[in-house]
């Protein structure tokens, strides 16, 4: 299922806001079944799923140019996530967008956007008019964007290109220039900017909560690179109220998701 509202009875559901899931690449194993096999004893009841980077573009070639074959691979990777309905686990598919800015592939079941690049990887064509058109559609649907980009592009995206769009900075900024650089720029304070806890240090997570509160922070694991139970353990180790913990573990994610327009 991929309902905007959490479909189960649990008053404090745990949702993992950062899970890579694909079946075209098997190293490391990263199907939904692989993920769920790690959850024994962890009360994780749903997850935001993104296709693996390596099913979207050739991250090892900075000069990489898009091809029809890669467009097909990308479409299949995104499409796969829409097939994962499960009566016992809530699936929230995120659409991984790349340089064809294929916003026409967005459907009613998409709950967010994955936008990802490291500084040694092929660049997004931010000046392409299709980029602005895709951002306009993302804004219209109120889809949150998980934005992993180098620092300058993170700032440009949030302050100029996608003003008003809700952006989730993964890893509390670890790969977007660092937690403190994002903090110095004043981005964490913006009401549209969220963070996820995947692979972030306990100290940065605690500092974030002390300064900016618990309402825009999302628990995430970064499976298969992070271990969901270990990442969950970090949230239980934070010195915060149980109410704040419940928001971070799932309440904030469900609020964000509930505000998405399905068409």
The number of residues making up the chain comes to 263
Kindly write out the interface string for residues 218-257 of this chain, putting x where it contacts Zn ion by CB under 5 A and - elsewhere.
----x-----------------------------------
Cβ 213 to Zn ion shortest distance, Å: 24
Q: Which is nearer to Zn ion, 16 or 99 (CB)?
A: 16
Q: Which is nearer to Zn ion, 17 or 240 (CB)?
A: 17
Cβ 175 to Zn ion shortest distance, Å: 9
Cβ 29 to Zn ion shortest distance, Å: 15
Determine, following the binding rule CB under 5 A, whether residue 204 of this chain makes contact with Zn ion.
no
| Distance from C-alpha of 71 to C-alpha of 84, rounded to nearest angstrom | 21
Q: Is 195 left (phi over 0), alpha (psi -120 to 50) or beta?
A: beta
| Distance from C-alpha of 132 to C-alpha of 152, rounded to nearest angstrom | 18
Q: Which is nearer to Zn ion, 36 or 139 (CB)?
A: 36
**CB neighbour list of residue 21: distance below 8 Å, 6 or more residues apart:** 30, 31, 32, 35, 47, 49, 50, 51, 52, 80, 81, 84
Q: Which is nearer to Zn ion, 55 or 222 (CB)?
A: 222
Cβ 36 to Zn ion shortest distance, Å: 18
| Distance from C-alpha of 110 to C-alpha of 95, rounded to nearest angstrom | 6
Kindly write out the interface string for residues 85-104 of this chain, putting x where it contacts Zn ion by CB under 5 A and - elsewhere.
--------------------
Cβ 248 to Zn ion shortest distance, Å: 18
| Distance from C-alpha of 253 to C-alpha of 11, rounded to nearest angstrom | 14
Q: Judge if the upstream peptide bond of residue 224 is cis by omega within 30 degrees of 0.
A: yes
Q: Which is nearer to Zn ion, 16 or 222 (CB)?
A: 222
| Distance from C-alpha of 72 to C-alpha of 75, rounded to nearest angstrom | 5
- Residue numbers 206-225 binding Zn ion by CB under 5 A: 222
Radius of gyration of the chain (CA): 17
| Distance from C-alpha of 194 to C-alpha of 118, rounded to nearest angstrom | 19
Cβ 1 to Zn ion shortest distance, Å: 23
- The three-point CA angle 208-117-160 to 5° equals 70
Cβ 116 to Zn ion shortest distance, Å: 7
| Distance from C-alpha of 144 to C-alpha of 129, rounded to nearest angstrom | 21
Q: Which is nearer to Zn ion, 16 or 216 (CB)?
A: 16
Q: Which is nearer to Zn ion, 99 or 221 (CB)?
A: 221
| Distance from C-alpha of 58 to C-alpha of 188, rounded to nearest angstrom | 31
Which residue's Cβ has the minimum distance to Zn ion?
222
> Applying CB under 5 A, what is the total number of residues that bind Zn ion?
1
List of residues contacting Zn ion (CB under 5 A): 222
């Amino acid at each position: 299922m991929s309902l905007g509202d959490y479909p189960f009875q649990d008053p404090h559901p745990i949702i993992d806001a950062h899970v890579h899931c694909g079946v075209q690449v098997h190293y490391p194993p990263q199907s939904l079944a692989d993920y769920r096999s790690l959850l024994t004893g962890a009360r994780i009841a749903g997850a935001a799923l993104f296709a693996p980077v390596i099913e979207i573009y050739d991250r090892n070639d900075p000069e990489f140019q898009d091809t029809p074959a890669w467009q097909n691979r990308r479409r299949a990777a995104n499409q796969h996530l829409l097939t994962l309905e499960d009566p016992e686990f809530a699936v929230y598919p995120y659409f991984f967008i790349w340089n064809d800015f294929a916003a026409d592939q967005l459907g009613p079941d998409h709950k967010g956007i994955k936008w990802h690049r490291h500084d040694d990887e092929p660049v997004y064509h931010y000046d392409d008019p299709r980029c602005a058109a895709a951002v306009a559609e993302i804004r219209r649907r109120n889809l949150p964007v998980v934005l992993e980009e180098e620092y300058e592009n993170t700032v440009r995206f949030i302050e100029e290109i996608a003003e008003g769009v809700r952006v989730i900075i993964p890893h509390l900024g670890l790969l977007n220039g660092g937690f403190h650089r994002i903090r110095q720029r004043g981005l964490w304070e913006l009401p549209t900017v969220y963070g996820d806890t995947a692979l972030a240090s306990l100290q940065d997570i605690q500092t974030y909560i002390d300064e900016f509160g618990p309402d825009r922070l999302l628990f995430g694991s970064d499976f298969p690179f992070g271990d969901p139970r270990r990442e969950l353990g970090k949230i239980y180790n934070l010195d915060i109220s149980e109410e704040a913990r419940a928001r971070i573990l799932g309440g904030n994610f469900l609020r964000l998701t509930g505000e998405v327009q399905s068409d």
